[in-house]
Amino acid sequence: MSRLKDPNIIRLLAVCIYSDPLCMITEYMENGDLNQFLSRHEPEGHLALLSNTPTVSFSNLCYMATQIASGMKYLSSLKFVHRDLATRNCL
């Protein structure tokens, strides 16, 4: 996995495989995973204006989707199968 080099794939810095639990060290992602980010934000719109919750625009959501698709296309081009694409795994 350390050979993966794409702006839409998180960098793997180190792996511990000698004892349980197995651990991976990746680059730091300030906003956590996509699931955490989306749970802290509301889509821009009428109801979002009534709360103090941060919003995310439709165009930003579309951009995030294209980044995910681009990362998956890159993995596919290397014959790499992810097997668990979920918001909790998008950093």
Number of domains in the chain: 1
For the whole model, what pTM was predicted?
Answer: 0.82
Looking at the annotation, which residues are catalytic?
A: 84
Note the pLDDT tens digit of each residue in 36-56.
999 998 888 756 667 778 889
The answer as to whether 15 is a domain residue is no
Q: Which residues form the domain of 51? A: 30-89
For 71-90, what is the mean pLDDT? 94
Per DSSP bridges, beta strands 12-16 and 23-26 are antiparallel
Instruction: Please give the Cα distance from 79 to 65 (Å, whole number).
Output: 21
The answer as to whether 42 is a domain residue is yes
Burial 22-43 (b: 16+ CB within 10 A, else e): eeeeeeeeeeeebeebbeebbe
- Contact criterion met (CB below 8 Å) for 18 and 27: no
For 63-70, what is the mean pLDDT? 97
Tell me the pLDDT of the chain averaged across its residues.
89
The answer as to whether 68 is a domain residue is yes
